[in-house]
Amino acid sequence: MQHLQSNTTLQGGKYRIERVLGQGGFGITYLAYSFSNNKHVAIKELFISGINDRSGYDNMVKVSNAANIYSFTQQKEKFKKEAKRLFNLNNPHIVKVYDMFEENGTAYYVMEYIKGTSLANSINKSSKDELTVFSYLNQILDALSAIHTKNLWHLDIKPANILVSKGTIILIDFGASKHIDRNSTITTSSALAFTPGFAAPEQLQCDMGKFGPWTDFYALGATLYQIITLHTPPSFTDILSDGDTAFSFPEFISERMKHIILWMMKPNRRERPQNVDEISPILKRNSSQLNNFIIINKPKVDGSETFINNPHDDFSALFDENGIIWDYDIINSYLVSDRFVEYLNSHSELFVENISKKTNISIGIVLCNIGWLMKEGRLKENWSCYIKRTKTRIDFSFFSTSIENVYNALDSVHLKSLEMISCLSKVSIAGSLLSIGWLMKEGRVVFENGLIKSL
């Protein structure tokens, strides 16, 4: 038996183990119930594979070989330091630690239980669209800013250590983290742990004196690359020898996203971002509050609003507190793609929902693209598609009489939502999106500070 059994209690009955959530080389994480707080928590137990065994009768964790006692003692001290560091961090994108204690010959710490899934599990199903990835990036950088301010480097950022819960990103597993004291000295001498493909060159070379925020940024770049392409990140030796050609980016990836990934994954640490503040201006061009999306659905027949969480659902558009947050570079990279046009022209009886799933582009941006391409004349004559849910046929006649109304609505008020455009122009959400795409191609609508504005 390597793990605690269900109904095992810890701390004199304060916590009751329910089941194992996961197990790695350095520990076991359990779902437990906290009787003092009347809620579920996650409890991490230090249990090192190959070093520790457990007594079946009293749950004591033992060191299987006396030669490993010193190593285990070192790891236990590091484990407790990890818990204390997390306890002192207060950020919505970093897992919260509530308690730490020793029992059964080992150490434990108690964390919030997060109902979500890791990015590693999530990308097993499909890649993430770029707007979603920008949202994730903004939240991860917020977490990194908090830990880097404390002179703490995570050193194991990867999809498996990033949880997603209702659109919120939470960074977990600080087991590989290192802390720098005021004299710029690493405060732990424990062995380095890293994940190949995500570890920066200075990690692979075990050169702790060269660790810094740029080390985490390398792993973050590799993470972004994997979740948006589903490809394994190239090794730094491949990047050194092949340069940018070591990467395989899908056609729909914007130049901005490519730039961020390539910048973060520079083999030379001095050529990477040196702190979060260097990255922030690039993200602000995309949105001032990427992590505070309001996603507004087409109004129901009864006039009520539906708020949804998935930008692929229905007729969604993304907004922040200042208005529409679509990024021109992102949209333009889809609009000019010959592959996208070929896909549209080579299929009959197309549904907008299917186009969205096929291209991994939100339905709102798909409609905007179609409007642009109709104006550009790149869609075949009499091209049309359908909205599956409402059985509406989309062609030029569907929105041709709406374009001027939408244009006038864009300039009539400081817009807060696509619904307001629809209300003012008396044009459906779908028709408004098609019209905006058409007006963008005409050059009568531009992006300025993240807002769509008429000229």
Give the 3-state secondary structure of the chain: CCCCCCCCEECCCCEEEEEEEEECCCEEEEEEEECCCCEEEEEEEECCCCCEEECCCCCCEEECCHHHHHHHHHHHHHHHHHHHHHHCCCCCCECCEEEEEEECCEEEEEEECCCCEEHHHHCCCCCCCHHHHHHHHHHHHHHHHHHHHCCEECCCCCHHHEEEECCEEEECCCCCCEEECCCCCECCCCCCCCCCCCCCHHHHCCCHHHCCHHHHHHHHHHHHHHHHHCCCCCCHHHHHHHHHHHCCCCCCCCHHHHHHHHHHCCCCHHHCCCCHHHHHHHHHCCCCCCCCCEEECCCCCCCCCCECCCCCCCCCEEEECCEECCCHHHHHHHHCCHHHHHHHHCCCCCEHHHHHHHHCCCHHHHHHHHHHHHHHCCCCCCCCEEECCCCEEECHHHHHHHHHHHHHHHCCCCCCCHHHHHHHHCCCHHHHHHHHHHHHHHCCEEEECCEEEEC
Catalytic residue among 99, 129, 142, 156: 156
In sequence order, the 6+-apart residues with CB closer than 8 A to the CB of 349 are: 386
**Predicted structure pTM score:** 0.64
Active site residue 156: yes
Per-residue pLDDT of the chain (455 residues; tens, 9 = 90+): 689 999 999 999 999 999 999 888 888 999 999 999 899 999 999 999 889 998 878 899 999 898 999 989 999 998 998 888 889 888 989 999 999 999 999 999 999 999 888 999 888 766 677 777 888 898 899 999 999 998 899 989 999 999 988 778 999 988 777 777 545 444 454 445 678 889 999 999 888 889 999 999 999 999 999 998 899 999 989 999 999 999 999 877 878 889 999 999 999 999 999 999 999 877 764 443 333 333 333 333 333 333 323 333 333 334 333 333 344 444 445 554 666 787 788 877 788 888 877 766 667 778 888 888 888 888 888 899 988 877 888 888 888 888 988 888 876 655 446 667 777 888 888 888 888 888 878 878 765 544 455 55
Give me the residue label for tokens 């961090």: 89
Beta bridge partners of 296: 307, 317
Q: Answer whether 246's CB lies under 8 Å from 261's CB.
A: no
CA-to-CA distance for 339 and 206, rounded, in angstroms? 44
- Supply the pLDDT for residue 323: 35
Cα torsion through 49, 185, 208, 147, rounded to 10:
70
End-to-end CA distance of the chain: 70
The C-alpha atoms of residue 193 and residue 155 are separated, in whole angstroms, by 8
Residue pLDDT, tens place only, 362-419:
677 788 888 888 888 888 888 999 888 778 888 888 888 889 888 888 766 554 466 6
Determine the pLDDT at residue 178. 78
Rg (CA), the chain: 26
Token pair in block for residue 268: 């030379």
54 bridge partner residues: 61
Q: Quick one: pLDDT at residue 450?
A: 43
Nearest to 154 by CA among 107, 113, 214: 214
How far is 141 from 292, CA to CA, in rounded Å? 14
pLDDT at position 288: 36
Nearest 5°: CA angle at 104, between 100 and 109? 20
- Residue 290, number of CB atoms within 10 A of its CB: 23
pLDDT at position 424 is 81
Six-digit token pair at 130? 């770029």
